[in-house]
Structure formats: structure tokens, C-alpha cells
Structure 1
Amino acid sequence: MLDKYIHGAADALVKRRLNNKLTARLEPCLRPDNADQALAIQQALISQMKDSTGHEVGGWKCALPFSENDLDEMPVAAPIFANTIYDRSPCPVRLDEGVCKIEPEIAFRFHKDLPSRSEPYIEQEVIAALSGAHLALELIQNRYLASEEASYLEHLGDCLFNQGLFIGPEITLDQAFSASEIEFTLTAPSDLSTSTTLAGKHPNKYPQLPLFWLVNFLSAQGIDIKAGQLVITSSYAGVIEVPPDQEFSLQYGELGSILLRFEVS
């Protein structure tokens, strides 16, 4: 894939992200054919976001690589921009098919840099660089028209549906590292009778396993982890839909809860 097509794809993706405009799939010449091309588009998008708006990477989303159908060992990694990370209610959100779409996750926060290097980081080094963990909600948006059937690689170039991140209460690393399964309770405070219980299970068994993978995956590409960045490592319960402008609470078993209201931006 020629550089002009990589940068052309990134330019189109940046424009629709900033304009909050859903579009059809990109022109065939701008669509990635493999993971390397998708990640190159992603990096060009990061560069263009910084140049055009000053917005920097504030964190990452990830999961362990997967193989499915004609896809083999696909990486799951995408940036989360710092200006889309929130910790107060009401939280701004862009609707997806008329609702707020969220994924319940655990976020890890770094307090020191992990510069890219040739030697892989061992788990103890990654843990030593962490300051703690938080209950978190990934904010989801599909920036392709619902009628379009974009490939995984196209979504990878466009940061895997991420539109932002809400950071909730802090938990200990011990709590995070043992959180293989979490029972969630979703409640609208205005109607306590409508509580819904969701059985949550981390798709990679433990949330720290994709974290360890991500650090070395980024390092191999010459990308540093920076102090203050956050990393989420996949949803425990898929996508949850909640209405805008209505306060709700999401209880993470015995770990704590998030009380939040979304406000359409």
C-alpha cells in the first residue's frame, strides 16, 4: 500500500471523526489488505490528529490477538485520545444508533514510561510501571454507516470503534489481576425495579494478560508507553446500551460501582 493511500485513508478517517459524520467504506485503494497496512493507517491518523488538533494519545485499548475465518493472528490494539478520556458526570458522548453504547472494562494506569526497546519487557517490569487500576467504561461508536459491512482491518485502521473512555473509581492491582469474572448490576436510579444483572467474564481470562502483550507489541513497533496513559483490555460483558440524559449506576460485583449520566455532545 503506497504512502499516499495510507495518508489518504488517515485523512478521511480524521475528518469524519472530527465532524462526527458517518460514512460509507473508504475507496478500495484506501482500504487496508493486512494488519501492517491497518496499523500504518492508525499511526498516520495519530500523527494527523496531533498536527490538526493537538490531541495526543492518552491510552490504548487492546485484547490478545485472535484468529478467525480468513484472519490469522490479528492484533487488537488502538489508541484512545486524551481529549476523549473523562472522569466526571455528565460525560459527553456521541450516540450510536440513537443510544449510548458502552463496554464495562478495567483500566490500568501507568506512572512511569516504558520506552520501546529491542528486549521484551517481563511482566514484573510492566507491573512496576503501573500506579493502579480503575473501573472503566469504553465509549463505543461505529463511524461507518450501519448498512456498510466494513472489514475488521478497516475498523482496526479507524481505532476499533473507540470514541472515548470514562474512568471510574480506583481499585487495587490485586483486585484487578484477580478479576476474571464480574457480576454486573445495571440500575436506573429513577426506577430501582428495572435492575438488570449481567454475568461478566473476561474474554482473555484475566485483564492483565492483554496488557502485558500490548506493551511488547507497541515496543516492537517503536511506540513508547508514557506515564499517565491508561490501557483497557476488553469488555467483560460485550456492548451495553443506555439512554442519554438519564442517570444510571453500574455495579461491578464487590469492586465498586459507576454512577453516571451521559450528555449528547
Structure 2
Amino acid sequence: MQSTDIQAAAQALINRRQNKQVTGPLAPELRPATVEDALAIQQQLIVKMAQAGDSVAGWKCALPIEVDGLKDVPVIAPIFRNSVFTDSPCPIQLDQGVCKIEPEIAFRFARDLPHRPEPYSEQEIVAALSGAHLALELILSRYLDPDSVSYLEHLADCLFNQGLFVGPEITVEQASSASEISFVLTGSPALSESRIDGKHPSVYPQLPLFWLVNYLNQRGIDIKAGQLVITSSYAGVIELAPEVTFRLQYEKYGEIGLRFEID
């Protein structure tokens, strides 16, 4: 893609965010054709968000995937500071009339990991962490028909992320052993108790974290102290009706109690 098209694509995606628009695909000349195109748009989105006063507070990631005929495709997107929440009620934009969330664990960094020529070891990455949290990724498609949009275009637009709710803290040791979590969801009004057997798609949540740090390192991007990293949902997408007060129990690890407020 030409630099001007990358800039224009990033600006179009920012306009959708700022105006809370759900629309069709990008114009044909602005759609990424390669992984590098998508990541270039994503990086320009980061630059433009920073210029507007909103910095990167963390990352969402998963281990690379095979999709749309492509192999070893990265699953990575920034999470912006103004969309990270810790209090109830939590603002959320509805997706097809419901609140969409994914139950996750978020790792928090205590210190910077600046980019360098050599990769970081798993021990170095763990040593840089201050802890972990129960967390909910807030999900939103900014496309009217998301299934008709290529993975690369979703990658450029940060992979359905609209924010992150950060819940109670747990230890790195607890997080690193959390391969499976049984969830219990309760709430009112009119939310019957449901049980969900959750399993991390990478077996352990720290494995995508290790990948992320070194993928960013290869691209000259630093990890900053205080940043959070989520590494995939334990139970896919959970849909909740608006204005419901709910509790999501993460087995022995604790619970998140929350009410969403429509933004």
C-alpha cells in the first residue's frame, strides 16, 4: 500500500471509533492486502490516537493462526488507555443490541522491556511482571457485516476490541497455572445462573504473552511499565442484556461484579 492510503485507512478507522459508527468495509483502495499492510495501518492508528491524547495501555494477542489462506498470521492489537476501566458501572457500546465480553486474564508489567537485538527469555519476561488480573475484554465489531470483512481488515482495526475491564488482582503464579477455569455467571434482573467450562486456547495464558513480547521486540516496539496484556478468551464471547448487574465467578481465583452503562 502507498503511504497515503495507509494514512487514509487509519484516519477512516479513527473516525469510526470517535463517532461510534458501525459501517461497511473500507474503500477498496484502503483495504490491507498483506499482513504488513494491516500492521502498518494499525501502527498509524496508534500514532493518530496518541496525537489525540490516547496512548497504548496494553495489548491483546494470541498465538499466530492460519486464516484466509495465510499461515503464521499474527493476532495482535493495541488496547487504548481511554478504553480501560476498573469501576462499575462500566461504559460499553452495544453490538447488535447486546453487551459482548470475553473472560480473560490480564498480565501487568512492572517495568519496561525496551526493544533490543536479542529476544527476551521467558524468565526475563516473567521477572518484568508485577502481577495479573481477572479481566473482561469488551467486544465490538465496527462493521455491519463482520463476516464479510477479511481478517486483515479486522487486524488493522484492532480485532474487535473496544476496551478492557480490569478486575481483581491475582498472582503471576496463579495466572500461569490457569489452564482451565469453570465460570459461574449470575445477575439481575432476569439473568438465570449459568455455568461455563472455560479452557485457554493456548493451554496456558502466558504462552501468547511470551510470543507477543518478542514479536513486538522484532518490530522495534517497547513494552512499557504498567501495560496490560490479554491472551485470549477462556469461553468465547458471552452476551449480556444491557443494564444487567452481574457477577462472573472465576472459580477459586475470585470474581468480577459489574454493571454496564450504555455509552
Does 1:229 find its partner at 2:227? yes
CA–CA separation in structure 1 for the residues paired with 2:96 and 2:43: 28
Structure-2 residue corresponding to 1:115: 114
- Confirm or deny that 1:255 pairs with 2:253: yes
Question: What aligned pairs does 1:19-168 form with structure 2 within 5 A after superposition?
Answer: 19-51=19-51, 53-146=52-145, 149-168=148-167
Deviation digits for residues 199-223 of structure 1, max 9, x if unmatched?
1000011000000000000011111
Give the SS at the match of 1:98: coil
Partners of 1:147 and 1:91 in 2: how far apart? 25
| C-alpha distance in 2 between matches for 1:83 and 1:190 | 29
User: d(CA) in 2 for partners of 1:73 and 1:29?
Assistant: 25
For the residue of structure 2 that corresponds to 1:7, the secondary structure is helix
Q: Kindly indicate whether the alpha-carbon contact (under 8 Å) linking 2:68 and 2:151 is maintained by their aligned counterparts in 1.
A: no
| Residue aligned with 1:182, SS | strand
Task: Say which SS state the counterpart of residue 148 (structure 2) adopts.
Answer: coil
1:16 aligns with 2:3: no
Instruction: Provide structure 1 residue ranges, at least 5 long, that are not aligned to the other structure.
Output: none
**Matched AA of 1:14:** I
The Cα shift of 1:28 comes to: 1.1
For the 8 Å contact 1:25–1:148, the answer to whether it is kept is no
Alignment partner, residue 212 of structure 1: 210
For structure 2, the 5+ residue unaligned runs are none
Q: In structure 2, how many angstroms separate the alpha carbons of the residues matched to 1:147 and 1:222?
A: 31
Residue by residue over 1:124-165, the C-alpha shift from the partner in whole angstroms, topping out at 9 and shown as x without a partner, is: 100011000000000000001137611100000000000000
Q: Quick one: which amino acid aligns to residue 229 of structure 2?
A: V
For 1:191 and 1:22, the matched residues in 2 are separated by: 29
- The residue identity in structure 2 corresponding to 1:263 is E
Q: How many residues align?
A: 263
Which one-letter code corresponds to 2:200 in the other structure?
A: H
State the secondary structure of the residue aligned to 1:44. helix
- Identity value in percent: 62
The one-letter amino acid paired with 2:48 is Q
Aligned equivalents of 2:36, 2:198: Cα separation in 1: 32
For residues 148 and 49 of structure 1, what CA distance do their matches in structure 2 show? 26
Q: Contact (CA 8 Å) 1:109, 1:228: kept in 2 or not? A: yes
Q: Using the TM superposition, give the Cα deviation of residue 68 of structure 1 relative to its aligned residue in structure 2, in angstroms.
A: 3.5
RMSD: 1.1
The 4+ residue runs of structure 1 with deviation greater than 3 A are 189-192
Aligned with residue 239 of structure 2, among 234, 241, 265 = 241
TM-score, normalised with respect to structure 2: 0.98
Indicate if the aligned counterparts of 1:105 and 1:236 stay in contact, CA closer than 8 A: yes
Contact 1:189 1:249 in 2 (8 A): no
TM-score by length of 1: 0.97
- 8 Å Cα contact 2:68/2:150 also seen in 1: no
Q: How far apart in 2 are the matches of 1:154 and 1:69?
A: 12
Residues of 1 paired with 2:189 and 2:15: CA distance?
38
